[in-house]
Structure 1
Amino acid sequence: MGNKSAAHRRWTALAAASVALLLGASACAAPPTTSYTNETGQEVTVNWKDYPVSAGLLPEDFSHAVTQEEAQATSDAVLTDIRAALTSVHAFEWSTRGEAAWFPGGGNGYGGKVMTSTFNSTQWESATAPASNAEWEEIVAVTSRITTKHGLGGVQLLFDHENFKTDHSWQKDLIDKYGTADPQRLWWWEGTAYTRSQWLVLHMVNVDRDTTGAAAKETEDSGLPARSISISYGATAVPAKDQAALTQALEPFVGLTPPEATTSD
């Protein structure tokens, strides 16, 4: 795959995406294809129906991806370490919401089937949460140190993401709903650590940060915690015995940008 130039990869992927949009994202749309010249000078055409993971996921995300067995071990370790570290400072008491489970993958968005399954851990929730920005920033920093130690990288807050900073409609939605798009004034923060097809989600909420009373009413109506730190882990993976087969199936797509999905499966 060494001779696929970046420009050529971008052009072919955009061409395939344009075809997909013209056909429409329906079950009847033909799967997109992408052509490129490999390192031996041969023209190769891949059919995205054969893509073994979901549309929108990059092949490179799975080049050194965890296996299901590794994901399960990482989930247990990272969630335990975060709870212990935060509890040592804030004396949190924790409870769980939901059950940990693997969910079989379905369609890949191009009319084919994925080889992977997706894991969602139990969500851990503290019974209380501090209210100050300084304490929230400290919680993000502690969580980031642990996720980095376990190979997931640091936690990026939603508000620090480039898409948030440049998407004015997103900011307008926050202002319309919460009265502000300034994270220093919002009563909830959310951040994610993501790498190698695995992720950890950190969510913090404290309605006392909202002086209007709307937040307290919203959480009361929804039944969700009014003051809580929540953490959960997820991964998309295959069992260790199927890792080689996944790598082989991905190999023709490495270096390509997946086009827009053409089916809703």
Structure 2
Amino acid sequence: SQISALIDERRADYMQAVEKSMEASEQYGNGEIGIDELSQINSTVSIYASRYAAVREFEQKREYLDTLKEEAGIDGYMMSDRGYEEIFGKYGKAREIVLLMALLASVVLIVSENIGIETSTGTKYIVNAASGKNTVKIKRIAASLALCIVLYFIVYGIDMIYLQNYYGMPYTEAPLMSLTFMRDCGLNISIGTFIVIRLIVRLVMMFAVFAVTYVFSSRFSEVRGRAVSVLIIVAVIVLVAVTGNVSIW
């Protein structure tokens, strides 16, 4: 490919310049050339070294892709890791943890407030018929769940639009392991599929927190229910902080 040819060309130029520099140093020691000529040759080495350094990332990536093909049979893409490191790599962890914490804490507040209103207004005692009571409860759950889902799409919709505009998401069809920082994930899926799965994982986490909060909050009175909701928020924050720093999801 053109990139491989460019890498080979610049490496060859650099190695040739180094050899000339070594020869020039020997000639200078023997008095065959002057200091000005030696300095000029050494300056040439610096120029070629700089040019070679500019493609070192691609050279390392080529070596990685060759190893990936040999060991895993995956034809990876020659692409930069930098944008995706900001999106779901090590540089994006802080952003993702904060977003998930904010979302799940909001879910806890929405559900606990819903239960609090139901308890304080005596709604569950006003409706005496079992069917009527269940209808009110289902409507409240559905309303809270709908609000949480809307909140989820707002939070991650804005996040994805921002990431797309700021970093771009090229080659989403590329194998995930084309990214060197994902070399140990063991997943033979595309980058786009991985992004979608991560969003689904967060949606499932939101549903789980919703269910747990509803179950615990509905078992306690208004004051105790609020205390329980605070404890759940703390637990969610701790859980997200811990798992967010060790999990690829």
TM over 0.5: no
Structure of greater relative contact order (alpha carbons < 8 Å, 6+ residues apart): 1
Which structure is higher in strand share? 1
Which category describes the TM-score, using the shorter chain as reference length? Answer: under 0.3
Which structure is higher in helix share? 2
Under a length normalisation based on structure 1, what TM-score does the superposition of the two structures give? Answer: 0.24
Under a length normalisation based on structure 2, what TM-score does the superposition of the two structures give? Answer: 0.25
Larger-gyration structure (1/2):
2
